[in-house]
Amino acid sequence: MSYGVNRNNEMPGYRHLIPHDQRGSSVTAKTLMVVGSTSSAGKSLLVTALCRIFARRGVRVTPFKAQNMSNNAAVCPDGGEIGRAQALQAAAAGLTPTVDMNPILIKPEADSRSQVILMGRPWATLQAKTYYTKKALLWEHVTASLDRLRASSELVIIEGAGSPTELNLKQGDIVNMAVARYAQSPTLLVGDIDRGGIFAQLLGTLWLLEPQERALIRGLVVNKFRGDASLFEDGIRILEQKGNVPVIGVIPHLKKLNLPDEDAVIIEQAASIGRTTAGVTAGSGAQIDIAVLAFPRLANFDDFDPLKAEKMINLRYASSPAELKTPHAILLPGTKSTLADLEWMRQTGLAEAVNHFARSGGAVVGICGGYQMLGKRIEDPLHVESDLAGLDGLGLLPISTRFSTEKATFQVQAHVLECSGWPSAVKSMPLSGYEIHTGDSHGGTPWVVIDRRNANPVHVPDGCISADGKVWGCYLHGLFANDNFRHAWLRSLGWQSEEAISQADSFRQSLETLVDSVESAMNMDLLNQIIWNTQQ
C-alpha cells in the first residue's frame, strides 16, 4: 500500500538547529527514543508525528524499532516484512520502508509460540522460552540495523515496546532502554492519561529505572488527554517536581484518524464488548452494516480501515453468532493461524452461521487466510502451521489450499478479469496491494490477475468468485484501499453516497491532523535542545 506522502513537502524550521558538523551522511545521526509506561500508550503515533514534523522541515529523519510483536505487517519493496507501524512512520518521513527500520518482527501463532521474522524474512518458529535464549544473536542484528540507519540519516527516532520496566524480562531487553543505552539516546517517556493513573504510570516507571537509564529520560509526555489541557497544569507541576524531568507535552485524545493501528488491541477490545470501530454507530442511520470475524490470530486487519472511513458504513467485529446478527456482508480477514482459527469458527458456531448467511444470499468475502477458509479443503502435510494435517473448509468456493514452507511476500499490481456480478464495474482497472501468505489455492475461476510482484512483471491468476458474485476471496491485502474497487463493492450491497471518500486524501488529512495536533501540544524548542544539544 502506498501512503502517498511526499517528503519534498518541506517547511523552513529546524534544519538550521543541526550543528554544521552534524549534517550529512558521513556523520552518525542524532537519536531520540520514545518509550511508554504501558503498551498502547501511543508511542507509535507519536513517533509517526515526530517523523513527519522533522521531515517537512528538511531534516533527514528515519524511524526505527528493534523488535515489534504484531500480526499487522507491511511488505517492503524487496519483499521483506516489517511492522505496519514502521511502514507508516517511514511514509511520514517521506521514505521507502526497509527491513532495517524493524529488524525483528514477532508474529504470534499461539499463546506461547511465534514466528520470528528476522531482517524481513522468516527465521524460526519458536516457543517463548526458546526465543529468550536467542537474544544475544538478535542483538547483533538490532545494533547493526541501527548503525546503518544512523550512517545515512541526520536523526533516527527510535520506538520502544511495551514498558521499559518489565523487571522479569529486563535482563533480555533488546528493544527499550538497552537500545537507548547503546545509542546514548535522549528519551521521552509517554503515559496514557485516558487509562487513568498517569502519575503512577510515569513516576513509577521513572523510579523503577536504573540510575543510568533514568538519566537518559529527558522529557515526559502525557498522551490522550480529553478536554481542556489547562486543567492539568497542577498535574504538570507535580510530575516535574516528583520526577525531576520536564513535561514536554500534553497531547489531546484524537479520534477517527484514518491511520493503521500497530496491533489488534483496539479490535480485541471492541469485539469483547460488541462495539463498532467505525464512525457510524449501529442503528444510527448507517446504510450498510459489515461484520468482520474477530479471529483469535487476526492479521492485517487494517485491510478494512478504508471501509470504516466511508460515510454511512457501520463496520464492527464479531466473535460469536449472537454478535454476528444480520449484516449486509461478512468479512473473513487474514490470520496467522488459518487452521486454528477455522477450528475456532466451528467451535463458536460461526462456521455454521456464515454458511447459512451465504446460502441465504448474503455477501461473504475472504482475504488471505479468510479466503483459504472459504474453500473445500486446507492441507498442511508438512505441518507448517500446526500439528493438524488438514481441515475441511467452509465449502463456499470450489478451491483447495495446500501449505508449503515457502512464504509469499510481495508488493503487487493487479487487475480484475472479465466476470459476472459487481466486479464487471472495475474490469481491467489497475489495483495495488500486497501478499503475505503461506500456501497456494487452486480450483474455481480466478477473477483477478497479478501483473507485478515487487516491480517484476508476472502473470499470476488469483482469487475465486461465485457465479452471482456474492462470495469471493483472494490473497491480495490492501484491496479496499483502491477507491474504485471499494466503491463498486459497497454499491453492490446497496450503498449510496454522494460523499465517497478518497483513501489517499483521507490518509493525508489524518496524518496532518495528527502532526499539527502533536506539534502544537509539544514544547518543540525544548525538544530541539534535547535532540541537538543546543541552547535557544
Note the pLDDT of residue 455: 92
> Annotated catalytic, 76?
no
- In the three-class reduction of DSSP (H, G, I as helix; E, B as strand; rest coil), residue 478 is classed as coil
Is 312 inside a domain boundary? yes
Tell me whether residue 197 is in a domain.
yes
The parts of the chain modelled with pLDDT lower than 50 are 1-12, 14, 23-26, 271-283, 536
Closest Cα partner for 445 from 468, 423, 461? 461
CB 246 within 8 A of CB 220: yes
Q: Are 114 and 108 in contact (CB under 8 A)?
A: yes
Residues 524, 430, single domain; the answer is: no
222 and 283, same structural domain? no
CA–CA separation, 438 and 369 (whole Å)? 9
305/162 same-domain check: no
| Same-domain pairing of 274 and 381 | yes
Length of the chain in residues, anyone? Answer: 536
Whether residue 7 is contained in a domain is answered as no
Q: Hey, CA dihedral for 9, 12, 17, 19, is it positive or negative? A: positive
User: Could you tell me where the DSSP H helices lie in 326-433?
Assistant: 338-348, 350-359, 369-373
How much is the pLDDT for 131? Answer: 85
Same domain as 468, residue 324: yes
CA–CA gap between residue 393 and residue 178 (Å, rounded): 46
pLDDT of residue 19: 52
Residue whose C-alpha is closest to residue 68's, from 200, 173, 175: 175
Q: What's the pLDDT at 280?
A: 38
Say what the pLDDT of residue 7 is.
43
DSSP string, 260-276: --SSTHHHHHHHHTT-B
- Which helix or strand (DSSP H or E) is residue 417 part of? none
Dihedral of the CA atoms 52, 58, 62, 63 (nearest 10)?
A: -20
Residue 22: inside a domain: no
Of 95, 37, 93, 43, give the one whose Cα is nearest residue 68.
Answer: 43
How many CB atoms are located within 10 Å of the residue 200 CB? Answer: 11
Q: Would you say residue 104 lies in a domain?
A: yes
Q: Is residue 14 part of a domain?
A: no
Active site residue 51: no
Q: Does one domain contain both 234 and 309?
A: no
Q: Are residues 232 and 306 in the same domain?
A: no
Q: Where are the alpha helices (DSSP H) in 215-301?
A: 233-243, 265-272
Do 246 and 312 share a domain, yes or no?
no
Do 489 and 421 lie in one domain? The reply is yes
CATH code, domain carrying 271:
3.40.50.880
pLDDT given at position 529 = 95
Examine residue 12 and state whether it is found in any structural domain, yes or no: no
Do 463 and 103 meet the contact criterion of CB atoms below 8 Å apart? Answer: no
CA 59 – CA 16 distance, rounded (Å): 9
Look at phi and psi of residue 24 and say left if phi exceeds 0, alpha if psi is from -120 to 50, else beta: left
pLDDT for position 11: 40
Model-level pTM? 0.89
Say which amino acid occupies 366: G
Give the neighbor-by-neighbor strand order of the sheet with 464-465: 313-318, 288-293, 329-332, 363-367, 471-474, 464-465
Q: Does 395 share its domain with 421?
A: yes
Distance (Å, whole) CA 81 – CA 436: 8
In terms of domains, do 379 and 298 share one?
yes
Residue 10 falls within a domain, yes or no? Answer: no
CATH of the domain at 71: 3.40.50.300
249 shares its domain with 277:
no
Q: Report the domain count for the chain.
A: 2
List the domain range (segments joined by +) for residue 149. Answer: 34-253+510-530
Looking at residue 500, what is its pLDDT? 86
pLDDT in the model for residue 17: 52
- Which listed residue (51, 76, 328, 368) is catalytic? 368
